[in-house]
Chains A and B, each alone.
Chain A
């Protein structure tokens, strides 16, 4: 299933390697351009606010054009209303521009990743064989064959044709782990070859690389609306319709019944009642969703996918990489034959001292913790190291005899830190050069001359328990096996609990034996798992869940995963995976961190919640606005002032309500951009919290705010 072997663990939280800086000049310019009626018409709520602004502007200039609806003496008031209405529209376009600017900033920082480099292009030249020429990486085209050697940076996305190499993808993923790539694997532009060399065929043109796609995605302003956005827009359009009917009915009745209402006041009521808050912030919320995904280094193929993620019922989690760290750590030394545990541990220690992989480090740490530290430190300095190679799948060391005992560089600190001061005795003093090998059991068995009888039994036992055996041999004699066990990712248990609280069912998928799978699942609190999964198992599981009308999210990397990724509602492919997988998925994670599927689901939920919260707030705000404006609306009916519970004079009441209506927009921009905060809890509790904050709060807050603004206006008026 895994076309490559990852040697390092991924980090759970997305690395914030993309900085943002917003150009305020761009925001101010762009927001004014967006006020053009032709562009604003896509946002009906703000469009009618702009129309209202134009009408009141006309009232300010020629009040005579509105007999019985406007008065010469109120021109100053009309001017105030005009300004506030203009600012209301402007605030809305500013919020959109800020969101857009943020996404541009994200795009710009992503672009920095694409450095111009030199590539080695291979030209087949009949008689002379291959010629290698140096070309600029931007000159590479699909189909070009390139050579990438140790130390080279991969110039662009390509597929390996020959050779096996270790690659460092840290520039893209923020992880320093080496990744093994062999024929058929994809190498991503920007990563570095750390061992061996490969020949690869370029499979994208310069503007088609994954980074270019990401940049294009976050930059594009042509963003199709997501299904919930469409539905919400329809609701807003409907509410606009209701209030428009009311406005016209009020204008007509005011004239027919001689109620003496001023057109500017009716328009003010109209604008206040319109769902301007959500109308203004809806586009910004949508843009911010994609921007935040990009910041997590996830390419989303459509905004719809993020939204669907919020609806996830079942989440299929691969055991390896998601629940456990990608690699297993040394857990136990199992000595074989006549050899003691100490012998094995010391041999393992010596062979791993220069091994910087987590596996290697874990062997040294285990030996230290058990007190098995060999005395041939000096020998290590002079030893001949056989580095791990993807071809041989083993590493080793050949030691030269020495009597002195000195700690190697860096070893002293480690030794002291462990407060380990025992004198070491070597079991079998080295009288001649010693060669130690460690690696996969079959490789070592092949290499060794002497193999203990129970070797295969132990290997089978460890494997059946879900562990990984690594054999160690000394001078052709197998001394034992190191038992590698799964290590549960830090924090994964809490995250799984969070998922369960929110009503999302995690299902673990693993090729392991059911017993092993069961014990790991129990440990992290997963109730359902599929063990001994075959490549097609995931696809079947996706289909089964969907058959029960559940929305399924999953991750995948191999070509085998492609059908399941395509079938799943949310398919998150790893950038390190094959093209088939990435093509089938609707999101690609550049950091290749499988746990991020959980972040994707949470972000989807947050996006929906933010829209709901701002909509609810926008609608509940109306209560206070009715009570501020309606009592003072009809000049000819003083009796209605009994309803004036805020006790405001007519013009102050109207201006205060309008000002409140306008400043709520910028006040909520931070919420629109970063989303409403929520902790993983039951959906009912999350809902009730939001309802209390944005529903009940939305009714109460404006009463206080409008009164405060009114007091302030009166105060300012007093000064002037």
Chain B
């Protein structure tokens, strides 16, 4: 059972991260509202240079369609570059290990995965990718996809804030993107990377070395630009590791301290985005509402996962201990990061179930930017359902929720079950599951169900790993990852575009800035999102638990 000490550790991590995120959100607001910040002397000329080289008109304000189109084209473009690099890495420089180019389906899977902020990996990073691929194809996408998530949220927040003056629209995608990179992701990654290097995570381009171990055998020591990748993978809620074993690999996560720092790293930005919502709206309590709802669900997730932590199963990370492993696993799914510090197959079925819940909800608090976006989707649906009971047309932030808003929110809500359940059934029907040696029992089903849930939620943690490197899984998860990424973004930007011009009334019947409303949102999410998947959880992890199967190993 959970000891008081563990609760204290969790509370401490939460307190530190929430305070840091609160402070950071102040800075973020200034960044996105073009106010003075302390880095201006250095970054203003740099950014102006970038705008001039790329021919960006920084004063151009975009509507939701243009914003989405810019984002989408940009992501196709970056994915295409990465696809070329991965496919031809054998002919490209910075490849001291002489790895050959990877095949098209794996390359497709990898670029869709990293560009959608999923980081599902059907390859073993340390034994497949060159330094160039790791740094340019992988890390580059980790930056752009994280920044994409952040700017989408910012554009949506601007829409929800309403048009403050005639000229204002959702903002300029390119300007938001550049500023996110230069003023948020790069500085924070730099700080975290240096910190991790100080704590023993390697950062090198010197190639792998072969050493003779104490027992007399030889071992390849795989080093590389690990610290920077680990930093952005956590900060950007990406999750794709340098190594297949991700943060379970000692070089990526050498000590309990780095473990907690990495844990905090992935919580930081999604939490800051929730505060940013309140700040950009000039209604801090509305940000608090999102925060309470998200963290409330996160706490429920943790409670489910921590109940069974009594003994360490086979394959569970022993270096870091059972508690921190479970905390990490739940957090990585709750924030849809997907980095792992253990072998999922070693986890107790209820931990898997908690992980699945986080990915089903996607807003606990979810990935950078998109977590807040999903929470807003749930808020709109909840406000509409219960708001009528206050005797007025439901309003959120003073704007009436009308038929078209409900239509859009419901479509966004429908995407998730479709892109998880359809390919899961298809994988069985086409024999793809049997082809990789998995059966029809609860263990096999859980792994396949988890694979698509993780892909759809843009999480990236998975059971399959390199066994998923088949054409069927590469292509199907690739499609699911992009559908799960861009369809909801498209819809939520459309809602933001509608919100922009809605009349706002100051006399609202159902207040959303109190402490009751987030509780209602939590219950509504549990009923609408989690219970929807209840039959599937029942034949997967719940059944494993009931049949006394300790883990998937």
Question: Hey, which bits of chain A sit against chain B, CB under 8 A?
Answer: 227-228, 230-232, 234-235, 237-239, 241-243, 245-246, 249-250, 252-253, 256-259, 269, 307, 310-311, 313, 502-503, 505, 548-551, 605-606, 608-609, 611-613, 615-616, 619-620, 622-623, 626, 630-631, 633-634, 637, 639-640, 642-643, 678, 683-684, 686-688, 690-691, 694-695
Question: Hey, which bits of chain B sit against chain A, CB under 8 A?
Answer: 381, 384-393, 398, 401-403, 405-407, 410-411, 413-414, 417-418, 421-422, 424-425, 428-429, 440, 445, 503-507, 509-511, 516, 520, 523, 527-528, 531-532, 534-536, 538-539, 542-543, 546-547
Between A and B, how many residue pairs show CB distances below 8 Å? 179
- Find chain B residues with CB under 8 A from A686 CB: 389-391
Most chain-A Cβ atoms within 10 A of its Cβ — which of B384, B390, B417? Answer: B390
Knowing A250-B535, A310-B392, A683-B391 are in contact, say whether A691-B410 is a contact too (CB < 8 A): no
Q: Which residue of A lies closest to B441 (CB)?
A: A257
- Find chain B residues with CB under 8 A from A269 CB: 535
- Find chain A residues with CB under 8 A from B386 CB: 612, 616, 687, 691, 695
Q: Which residue of A lies closest to B442 (CB)?
A: A637
Is A249 within 8 A of B391, CB to CB?
Answer: no
In the assembly, what is the distance between CA of A259 and CA of B413, in Å?
28
Is A252 within 8 A of B425, CB to CB?
Answer: yes
- Find chain A residues with CB under 8 A from B384 CB: 231, 235
Distance in Å: Cβ of A280 to nearest Cβ of chain B? 17
Is A310 within 8 A of B402, CB to CB?
Answer: no
- Find chain B residues with CB under 8 A from A640 CB: 538-539, 542-543, 546
- Where chain B touches its partner, the secondary structure class is helix
Q: Which residue of B lies closest to A253 (CB)?
A: B425
Distance in Å: Cβ of B184 to nearest Cβ of chain A? 35
Q: A608 touches which one: B392, B410, B445 (CB < 8 A)? A: B392
- Find chain B residues with CB under 8 A from A505 CB: 507
Is A687 within 8 A of B510, CB to CB?
Answer: yes
Most chain-A Cβ atoms within 10 A of its Cβ — which of B406, B410, B535? Answer: B535
Is B414 within 8 A of A238, CB to CB?
Answer: yes
| Contact sample, A vs B, 26 pairs, CB 8 Å cutoff | A241-B410, A242-B414, A242-B417, A245-B414, A256-B429, A257-B440, A258-B440, A310-B391, A311-B392, A502-B391, A503-B507, A548-B506, A549-B504, A551-B505, A609-B388, A609-B390, A609-B391, A615-B388, A622-B527, A630-B538, A637-B539, A640-B538, A683-B510, A684-B511, A686-B390, A687-B510
In the assembly, what is the distance between CA of A609 and CA of B386, in Å?
9
Is B389 within 8 A of A634, CB to CB?
Answer: no
Distance in Å: Cβ of B403 to nearest Cβ of chain A? 4
Q: Which residue of B lies closest to A237 (CB)?
A: B410
Q: Which residue of A lies closest to B399 (CB)?
A: A549
Is B403 within 8 A of A231, CB to CB?
Answer: yes
Q: B393 touches which one: A235, A608, A616 (CB < 8 A)? A: A608
Is A612 within 8 A of B387, CB to CB?
Answer: yes
Which are the 8 A-B pairs with shortest beta-carbon distances? A612-B388, A238-B410, A605-B391, A612-B389, A249-B421, A690-B389, A231-B403, A252-B425
Is A630 within 8 A of B387, CB to CB?
Answer: no
Q: Which residue of A lies closest to B528 (CB)?
A: A619
Q: Which residue of A lies closest to B445 (CB)?
A: A257
- Find chain B residues with CB under 8 A from A307 CB: 393
In the assembly, what is the distance between CA of A513 and CA of B504, in Å?
35
Q: Which residue of A lies closest to B516 (CB)?
A: A688
Is A228 within 8 A of B543, CB to CB?
Answer: no
Q: B531 touches which one: A231, A234, A249, A623 (CB < 8 A)? A: A623
- Find chain A residues with CB under 8 A from B511 CB: 684
In the assembly, what is the distance between CA of A619 and CA of B386, in Å?
11
Knowing A245-B418, A616-B389, A630-B534 are in contact, say whether A691-B520 is a contact too (CB < 8 A): yes
- Find chain B residues with CB under 8 A from A695 CB: 386, 520, 523
In the assembly, what is the distance between CA of A389 and CA of B478, in Å?
89
- Find chain B residues with CB under 8 A from A634 CB: 539
Most chain-A Cβ atoms within 10 A of its Cβ — which of B402, B422, B505, B509? Answer: B509
Is B532 within 8 A of A257, CB to CB?
Answer: no
Q: A257 touches which one: B414, B421, B531, B539 (CB < 8 A)? A: B539
Distance in Å: Cβ of B120 to nearest Cβ of chain A? 21
- Find chain B residues with CB under 8 A from A642 CB: 546
Is A234 within 8 A of B510, CB to CB?
Answer: no
Is A615 within 8 A of B385, CB to CB?
Answer: yes
Is B385 within 8 A of A227, CB to CB?
Answer: no
Q: B413 touches which one: A238, A258, A310 (CB < 8 A)? A: A238
Distance in Å: Cβ of B104 to nearest Cβ of chain A? 29
Is B421 within 8 A of A246, CB to CB?
Answer: yes
- Find chain A residues with CB under 8 A from B506 CB: 548-549
Q: A313-B505, A616-B385 are in contact. List 7 more A-B contacts (CB 8 A).
A: A231-B402, A237-B410, A238-B407, A245-B417, A623-B527, A683-B390, A691-B386
- Find chain A residues with CB under 8 A from B417 CB: 242, 245-246, 249
In the assembly, what is the distance between CA of A528 and CA of B89, in Å?
76
Q: A256 touches which one: B406, B440, B528, B532 (CB < 8 A)? A: B440
In the assembly, what is the distance between CA of A78 and CA of B373, in Å?
44
- Find chain B residues with CB under 8 A from A639 CB: 543, 546-547
Q: Which residue of A lies closest to B511 (CB)?
A: A684
Is A503 within 8 A of B509, CB to CB?
Answer: yes
Q: Which residue of B lies closest to A256 (CB)?
A: B428
Is A245 within 8 A of B410, CB to CB?
Answer: no
Most chain-B Cβ atoms within 10 A of its Cβ — which of A249, A619, A631, A688? Answer: A249
- Find chain A residues with CB under 8 A from B523 CB: 695
Q: Which residue of B lies closest to A609 (CB)?
A: B391
Q: A246 touches which one: B393, B507, B532 (CB < 8 A)? A: B532
Distance in Å: Cβ of B551 to nearest Cβ of chain A? 17
- Find chain B residues with CB under 8 A from A311 CB: 392-393
Q: B392 touches which one: A241, A605, A690 (CB < 8 A)? A: A605
Q: A626 touches which one: B411, B510, B528, B534 (CB < 8 A)? A: B534
Distance in Å: Cβ of B423 to nearest Cβ of chain A? 10
- Find chain A residues with CB under 8 A from B546 CB: 639-640, 642-643
In the assembly, what is the distance between CA of A691 and CA of B387, in Å?
10
In the assembly, what is the distance between CA of A631 and CA of B401, in Å?
37
Q: Which residue of A lies closest to B537 (CB)?
A: A630
In the assembly, what is the distance between CA of A227 and CA of B535, in Å?
35
- Find chain A residues with CB under 8 A from B440 CB: 256-258
- Find chain A residues with CB under 8 A from B504 CB: 549
Distance in Å: Cβ of A305 to nearest Cβ of chain B? 13
Q: A241 touches which one: B414, B445, B507, B509 (CB < 8 A)? A: B414
Is A694 within 8 A of B389, CB to CB?
Answer: yes
- Find chain A residues with CB under 8 A from B391 CB: 310, 502, 605-606, 608-609, 678, 683, 686-687
Knowing A257-B445, A311-B393, A549-B504 are in contact, say whether A637-B543 is a contact too (CB < 8 A): yes
Most chain-A Cβ atoms within 10 A of its Cβ — which of B388, B504, B542? Answer: B388
In the assembly, what is the distance between CA of A257 and CA of B388, in Å?
42
- Find chain B residues with CB under 8 A from A684 CB: 390, 510-511
Distance in Å: Cβ of B272 to nearest Cβ of chain A? 31
In the assembly, what is the distance between CA of A502 and CA of B534, in Å?
40
Q: Which residue of B lies closest to A696 (CB)?
A: B523
In the assembly, what is the distance between CA of A232 and CA of B422, in Å?
27
In the assembly, what is the distance between CA of A258 and CA of B424, in Å?
15
